[in-house]
Structure 1
Amino acid sequence: MMRALALLPLGLFMALGASAPATAQTRHNTNAPIDFASDHFEIQDKANRVILTGNVRITQAEMTMTAARTTLTYTGQITDGSPQVSRLDASGGVTVTRPDQSARGQYAVYDINRRVITMVGAVTLRQGPNVINGGRLAINLDTGRATIDGSGVGGSTTPGGVQSQGGRVTGRFSVPKRDEAPASPPSP
């Protein structure tokens, strides 16, 4: 049986356990240009794709994606001298970072038209000290909603001993520290 956990909006993730005040995630600017850097660049113009390999770093506004390999698919239309990218497929230790948040997995697909990033394979979502592990993560960049479930590829183990195996979602939320009142002396 698959178990799922939905986080509405991602600021709730922080609010569940962080001691600092919760701040809602800002809407990602999916219209911002996509910048890239890699060790190797190959263009396959007839197939409308670019293959980046080796220390790939993709940046769009305040979001960064790193991976060993990324394929950019474009439509063939040129705007302001650049092709219109419609999809990014990343593999090999993929990390997506946004302000106050990071996600890791084995593979990721960024569907630019739908404005959704889907990650699979030993996925870990972190915000501050809070962590959730699962098999598949979908992040809607317009709404800030993230859904993580136990499906996907492989399991994961975190240093804190939290595991995700067999189609389950696991995690750990921190609890705000409170001032403890001194113990009352026993009554006579």
Structure 2
Amino acid sequence: MLRLTFVILFGLTTLLLSPVAMAQGTGVSFGVLQTDTSQPVDITSDNLSVNQEDGSALLTGNVLIIQGEMRLSADNVLVVRKTDGNGIERLEARGNVLLVSGEDAAEARTADYTIENGTVVMRGDVLLTQKGNTLGAEQMTVNLTTGNATLNGRVRTTLPGSGGD
């Protein structure tokens, strides 16, 4: 019993002192250290529909967005152009959203990627997986330029078992 108590306390201490756990309240690292958000954005999908009035485009079916090391996939993505018509302002991903950078992956219901500031805001049952550890929250904001992420709204984690006694 004493050994089991020690294993539990050691595991909790290790978790609480780890960079991921220390940062849960304020943030965690996500993906490669930095992503160059000025790189081209490559987009593929099954279908494309363009709105001539505002210049937006709706991509549906197996949407995959690639920018450097960052991969974003979703059921559909709305591409919103800047008001001056020069370039993309943001990408609004909906349904089965998956964001991958390096070895890190995050799932959510929706994600909005603002190209200019390199920020991705994921909402709805967010699940972040990093090296076998998982963190969940209602929302996660990722700054692709710095590699920092912040989780908000009932943050939860899964602790690995002791593997023995």
Determine the C-alpha separation between the residues in 2 that align with 1:8 and 1:66: 22
Q: Distance in 2 between matches of 1:95 and 1:5?
A: 23
Name the structure 2 match of 1:39: 46
Give the 3 Å change call, closer, same or farther, for CA 135–47 of structure 1 in structure 2. Answer: same
> Structure 2 vs 1, CA of residues 44 and 62 (structure 1 numbering), >3 Å: closer, same or farther?
same
* Number of residue-to-residue matches in the alignment: 138
1:5 match: secondary structure: coil
Larger Rg: 1
State the superposition RMSD in angstroms: 2.0
- Which aligned segments of 4 or more residues in structure 1 are displaced greater than 2 angstroms? 4-11, 172-177
Structure 2 equivalent of residue 26 of structure 1: 33
Following the alignment from structure 1 to structure 2, what is the Cα–Cα distance between the partners of residues 33 and 67? Answer: 19
Instruction: Name the % identity.
Output: 30
TM-score normalised to structure 2 length: 0.77
Aligned partner of 1:119 in structure 2 is 122
Tell me, yes or no, if structure 1 residue 90 matches structure 2 residue 97: no
Which structure features the higher share of helix residues? 2
Instruction: Give the letter aligned to residue 9 of structure 1.
Output: S
> What residue number does 1:136 align with?
139
Whole-Å separation in 1 of the counterparts to 2:30 and 2:75:
27
Distance in 1 of aligned mates of 2:158 and 2:88: 37
Q: Which amino acid aligns with 2:157?
A: G
For structure 2, list consecutive stretches of 5 or more residues without a partner in the other structure: 1-23
C-alpha deviations, 1:138-170, integer Å up to 9, x for none?
0011211111111xxxxxxxxxxxxxxxxx211
Name the counterpart of 2:65.
58
1:102 corresponds to which of 105, 111, 134: 105
Q: CA deviation at 1:71?
A: 0.4
Q: Which residue of 2 aligns with 1:180?
A: none
Q: Out of 158, 161, 165, which is 1:172 matched to?
A: 158
Q: Does 1:49 align with 2:35?
A: no
